[in-house]
Amino acid sequence: ETGVTQTPRHLVMGMTNKKSLKCEQHLGHNAMYWYKQSAKKPLELMFVYSLEERVENNSVPSRFSPECPNSSHLFLHLHTLQPEDSALYLCASSQERTGSEQFFGPGTRLTVL
């Protein structure tokens, strides 16, 4: 266990659905990240939160909406997704926003029909 949990582990949704992914870290870190992992591609950083403020948004479509209510929780709200959004979504946390020594959760396997 890395101290980072994600729910749900698997999610199947239609293009018109609205769903949310949840991440929780028990490490006392103050930076949290969302990554997208697709086959044969490097991990793609989507969002970075530091001290509950969004500090980076890597040109992610607006159908992905992050929320960080406190330093231990991170959400990714999904709506009107496309089939190409199907991927493994990983949450990570680190002590500082330097990005080093990131600890990853197990991911949510998302399938968009």
Partner 1 sequence: GENVEQHPSTLSVQEGDSAVIKCTYSDSASNYFPWYKQELGKGPQLIIDIRSNVGEKKDQRIAVTLNKTAKHFSLHITETQPEDSAVYFCASILTGGGNKLTFGTGTQLKVEL
Answer whether 78's CB lies under 8 Å from 60's CB.
Answer: no
- Asked if 105 interacts with partner 1 (CB under 8 A), we say yes
Provide, rounded to whole angstroms, the least separation between the CB of residue 1 and partner 1. Answer: 10
Burial degree of 106 (CB within 10 A; 0-12, 13-18, 19+):
middle
Nearer to partner 1 by Cβ, of 15 and 38: the residue is 38
- Asked if 22 interacts with partner 1 (CB under 8 A), we say no
Q: How far apart are CA 53 and CA 70, in angstroms?
A: 9
- Asked if 90 interacts with partner 1 (CB under 8 A), we say yes
- Asked if 42 interacts with partner 1 (CB under 8 A), we say yes
User: Positive or negative CA dihedral for 59, 69, 111, 81?
Assistant: negative
- Asked if 45 interacts with partner 1 (CB under 8 A), we say yes
Nearer to partner 1 by Cβ, of 16 and 41: the residue is 41
